[in-house]
């Protein structure tokens, strides 16, 4: 195995050019280096103008999402040695506008996230003196998988539907809606259903399934969306058969 690897890094510098170009950097490639280590090496020693996001280095903050050889990946969880002898192409996440180099604009995702009310909704709050809302381990298991989402947006980058129709509310937002719907303390499912049963909600999804494949946290957003569809269809049938009971 060679101890060096070449990174082709996408550069977009709006003040200089209106198109993306690629810069090649030859880096050392110790086996414990992830793509993010490579980028930090470039930034520290080769080209300080390279822009990219990162924070935790351990797959928690969700800020280092980018395309590595065309696949949406967390740069801090993708080993360079897996791509030896290279070269490795590093690009900003697909389906988002690029602000600079590897930094994408995520305002769209943020506004979609707030639309699904990702917090516990209560019709009537208990007074504080009644203590906390209790939950059994079984009740926790119902939604735990969906609560693992780190908002890295890899799933949006993998989703061709979102690429074609940016109005689609998208995988992670729906998975997070499910996270709260399935929480025994929450009472907001009906409110969320109103937003998600719109045209740009769950029915926009045609189950390509790529979101689930790229998710670094095994959230299975595709599964969340299909479960939602099933639930919504069942409610529709119920309302049809028993118009009164469904209200």
Partner 1 sequence: MRHNAVYTPYHPRWHRTRVSTYWWLGRWSYFLFILRELSSIFVAWVVIYLLVLVAAVSKSAVRYQQFLDWSRNPFMLSLNILSLLFIVLHAVTWFNLAPQAMVVHVGGRRLPGSLIAISNYAGLVAVSIVILGLLLIRW
Interacting residues with partner 1 (CB under 8 A) = 12, 14, 18-20, 94-95, 97-99, 105, 107-108, 110-111, 114-115, 138, 141, 160, 163-164, 166, 206-210, 212-213, 220, 222-223, 226-227, 229-230
Answer for which of 9, 27, 76, 195 binds ligand FES (CB under 6 A) is 76
Answer for which of 20, 21, 49, 55 binds ligand FES (CB under 6 A) is 55
Tokens 């709006």 sit on residue: 14
The footprint of ligand SF4 (CB under 6 A) covers 149-155, 171-172, 175, 214-217, 219, 221
Considering CB distances under 5 to 8 angstroms, the limit depending on partner class, which of partner 1, ligand FES, ligand SF4, none binds residue 85?
A: none
**In the bound complex, what is the minimum distance in angstroms from residue 101's beta carbon to ligand FES?**
16
Rounded CA gap, 54 and 40, in Å?
A: 10
Cα 65 versus chain centre, distance = 9
Considering CB distances under 5 to 8 angstroms, the limit depending on partner class, which of partner 1, ligand FES, ligand SF4, none binds residue 76?
A: ligand FES
Start-to-end Cα distance in the chain: 66
**In the bound complex, what is the minimum distance in angstroms from residue 225's beta carbon to partner 1?**
9
Return the DSSP state at 42: I
| Residue number with CB closer to partner 1 (98 or 189) | 98
Tokens 């670094």 sit on residue: 216
**The dihedral formed by the CA atoms of 132, 138, 139 and 142, expressed in degrees to the nearest 10:** 150
Q: Where are the beta strands (DSSP E) in 186-227?
A: none
The string of DSSP letters for 125-147 reads PPPGGG-PPP--HHHHHHHHHHH
**In the bound complex, what is the minimum distance in angstroms from residue 78's beta carbon to ligand FES?**
9
Is residue 59 a contact residue for ligand FES (CB under 6 A)?
Answer: yes
Q: Cβ neighbours of residue 81 under 8 Å, at least 6 residues apart?
A: 1, 29, 30, 31, 33
| Residue number with CB closer to partner 1 (142 or 187) | 142
The token pair that represents 87 in the structure block: 């070269």
The token pair that represents 172 in the structure block: 């992670």
**In the bound complex, what is the minimum distance in angstroms from residue 70's beta carbon to partner 1?**
8
């Amino acid at each position: 195995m060679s101890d060096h690897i070449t990174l082709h890094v996408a550069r977009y510098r709006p003040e200089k050019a209106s198109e993306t170009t690629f810069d090649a950097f030859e880096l050392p490639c110790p086996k414990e280096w992830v793509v993010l280590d490579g980028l930090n090496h470039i930034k520290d020693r080769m080209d300080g103008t390279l822009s990219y996001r990162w924070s935790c280095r351990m797959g928690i903050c969700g800020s280092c999402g980018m395309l590595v050889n065309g696949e949406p990946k967390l740069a801090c969880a993708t080993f360079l040695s897996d791509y030896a002898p290279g070269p490795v192409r590093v690009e900003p996440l697909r389906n988002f506008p690029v602000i600079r180099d590897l930094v994408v604009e995520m305002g769209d995702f943020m506004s979609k996230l707030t639309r699904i009310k990702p917090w516990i909704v209560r019709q009537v709050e208990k007074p504080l003196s009644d203590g906390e809302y209790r939950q059994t381990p079984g009740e926790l298991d119902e939604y735990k998988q969906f609560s693992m989402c780190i908002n890295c947006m890899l799933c949006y980058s993998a989703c061709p539907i979102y690429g074609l129709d940016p109005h689609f509310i998208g995988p992670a937002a729906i998975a997070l809606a499910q996270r709260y719907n399935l929480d025994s303390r929450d009472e907001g499912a009906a409110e969320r259903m109103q937003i998600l049963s719109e045209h740009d909600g769950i029915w926009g999804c045609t189950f390509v399934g790529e979101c689930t494949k790229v998710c670094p946290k095994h959230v299975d957003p595709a599964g969340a969306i299909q479960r939602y569809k099933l639930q919504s269809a069942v409610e529709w049938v119920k309302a049809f058969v028993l118009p009164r009971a469904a209200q």
